[in-house]
């Protein structure tokens, strides 16, 4: 039988260990909280509000737009759609000399913008260039010595990594949210012509587009582009409507409500990887534009083989002129095996316009190598 002294000693030790564990857990949570607060406080001074004044509705100048369906005309003729409107989003400084990175959808077709700094100052900004393929834009303000954010590496993050988002939703300056990376290389969302987006769970709201997505060290790993958390804002998705009309020509008599649909999810954000954005920055800084490569081929996957199949070719495009045919299987480009459609698309997009790339192609009678002179991709949207 244990003595009363031993029982008291054991109880004391158990209580002490429990208290010690609780204290350690509290200390860990406190340290985590302190780290998040520190990152947000360091980053927020470099996050800005970007305000633009919209131009005339872009579909009026679109040569591919043959006119709206009859049921839409009364809506578009309304003065509301023709007047200029102010819209705002987020951007962030990436250098002491006043360079600001943001999402292309924040800028639209504007050439000038107004930037509101964290200290409340409003200063004019000019648009140095946009990359409509990757979906980013570069602005410039004539101020020096401003705080700025450092780039991280988006290829180092994994699902489960911490993610901190900072934006300006509804004009609320430096609004931060905290979550995790949910997925990588998301595509097919219609945010940009080429997508390998970061998916994250930190809430994103209207006005957050263009803001920084940060890692656990406070470095930029992405540019916030969109979310699945509500209806589209004011502007209709005209590219979608054009595709819809071509696919379902009999739907012109459909009621206007069919042009809108509620979101299918809540709290899912998407960001353009910073490594992808950096691919465009040098060209935007030097030339104000990004000339993207184009071969004029429509591709489809070949299961798990990695190679891709040519399903169609643009009439008179570089690939057709070089001798590629529908049904060709592209095995490699410049000696590097083709891993996927996305891999080949990205390789072509980043190729210099006018240079030659060598495609190893498989046909029924064997493999051949076909050199193709890279053409230039139009911003309106071509297939690679």
Q: In terms of C-beta density within 10 A (0-12 exposed, 13-18 middle, 19 or more buried), how is residue 319 classed?
A: buried
Q: Which two tokens stand for residue 17?
A: 């260990």
Q: Residue 369's beta-bridge partner residues?
A: 360
- Domains of the chain with CATH codes: 24-289 (2.40.10.120), 293-376 (2.30.42.10)
pLDDT of 74 over the 80 cut: no
Q: Is 230 within 8 Å of 206 (Cβ atoms)? A: yes
Q: Which two tokens stand for residue 209?
A: 């587009």
Q: Which segments of 257-301 are extended strands (E)?
A: 268-273, 293-294, 297-301
C-alpha 192/C-alpha 105 separation (Å) is 9
Q: What residues contact 353, with CB distance under 8 A and at least 6 apart? A: 291, 292, 293, 374, 375, 376
Q: Is 137 within 8 Å of 107 (Cβ atoms)? A: yes
Q: What are φ and ψ of residue 238, in 5° steps?
A: -70, -35
**pLDDT tens-digit series, residues 86-132:** 678 899 999 888 999 999 888 887 788 888 998 889 999 999 888 88
Q: Is 322 within 8 Å of 336 (Cβ atoms)? A: no
**pLDDT tens-digit series, residues 224-241:** 987 664 444 334 455 555
pTM above 0.75, yes or no: no
Residue with tokens 């891709």: 308
**pLDDT tens-digit series, residues 332-382:** 898 888 888 888 888 898 888 889 999 999 888 888 898 999 998 875 334
């Amino acid at each position: 039988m244990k003595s009363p002294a031993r029982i008291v000693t054991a109880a004391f030790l158990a209580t002490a260990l429990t208290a010690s564990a609780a204290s350690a857990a509290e200390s860990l949570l406190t340290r985590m909280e302190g780290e998040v607060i520190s990152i947000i406080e360091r980053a927020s001074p470099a996050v800005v509000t970007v305000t633009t004044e919209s131009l005339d509705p872009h579909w009026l100048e679109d040569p591919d737009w043959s006119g709206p369906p009859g049921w839409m005309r009364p809506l578009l003729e309304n003065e509301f759609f023709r007047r200029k409107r102010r819209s705002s989003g987020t951007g962030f400084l990436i250098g002491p000399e006043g360079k600001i990175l943001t999402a292309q959808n924040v800028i639209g077709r504007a050439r000038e913008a107004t930037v509101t700094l964290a200290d409340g100052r409003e200063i004019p900004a000019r648009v140095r260039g946009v990359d409509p393929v990757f979906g980013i834009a570069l602005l410039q303000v004539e101020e020096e010595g401003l705080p700025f954010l450092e780039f991280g590496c988006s290829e180092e993050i994994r699902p489960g990594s911490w993610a901190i988002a900072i934006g300006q939703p509804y004009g609320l300056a430096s609004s931060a949210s905290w979550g995790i990376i949910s997925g990588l290389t998301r595509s097919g969302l219609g945010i940009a012509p080429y997508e390998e987006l970061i998916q994250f769970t930190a809430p994103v709201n209207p006005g957050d587009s263009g803001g920084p997505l940060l890692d656990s060290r406070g470095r930029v790993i992405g540019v916030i582009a969109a979310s699945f958390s509500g209806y589209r804002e004011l502007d209709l998705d005209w590219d979608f409507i054009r595709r819809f009309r071509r696919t379902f020509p009999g739907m012109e008599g459909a009621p206007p409500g069919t042009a809108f649909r509620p979101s299918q999810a809540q709290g899912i954000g998407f960001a353009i990887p910073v490594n992808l954005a950096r691919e465009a920055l040098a060209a935007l800084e030097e030339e104000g534009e990004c000339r993207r490569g184009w071969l004029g081929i429509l591709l489809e996957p070949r299961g798990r083989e990695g190679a891709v199949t040519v399903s169609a070719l643009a009439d008179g495009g570089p690939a057709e002129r070089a001798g590629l045919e529908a049904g060709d299987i592209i095995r490699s480009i410049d000696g590097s095996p083709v891993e996927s459609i996305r891999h080949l698309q990205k390789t072509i997009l980043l190729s210099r316009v006018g240079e030659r790339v060598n495609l190893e192609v498989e046909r029924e009678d064997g493999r051949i190598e076909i050199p193709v002179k890279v053409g230039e991709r139009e911003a309106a949207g071509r297939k690679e």
